[in-house]
Amino acid sequence: MATIYQINKGVSKPIVFKGLKAQYIAYLAVGLVLLLLSFAILYISGLSLLIVLPLIGLLGSVLFITTFRLSHRFGEHGLMKYIAKKGLPKYIRFSSRRIFTRLKYHDYQ
């Protein structure tokens, strides 16, 4: 008798939830938790609900818009590559060629 194996076709695909890809799901989740905590802190501190609700609503809208925009613009690994590329120097300046001329005389074993 032949055994039938099911093939998992989504092994190397990134996680996608409602259009958000990979790490942006975590960014949105952390942002929502921080918004919830800030709402609780502002409300408990005695600030009026007429001030707290619009503020949290505005910050939540900004969070959603920026997270979806970053996810759409950079994709799965693009944001990390973009940040890493900004950390590279534009050029490297050497005052002498001594570094390169000594390379052939060293024995690297």
pLDDT 10s digits, 72-98: 888 888 888 888 888 888 887 777 877
Domain membership flag for residue 43: yes
pLDDT at 84: 87
CA pair distance 22, 9, nearest whole angstrom: 17
77: in domain = yes
How far apart are the two ends of the chain, measured CA to CA in Å?
Answer: 57
Would 53 be classed as within a structural domain?
yes
What is this structure's pTM?
0.66
Number of domains in the chain: 1
Structural domain for 68, as ranges: 16-86
Distance CA 27, CA 85 (A): 21
In this structure, what DSSP letter does residue 2 have?
P
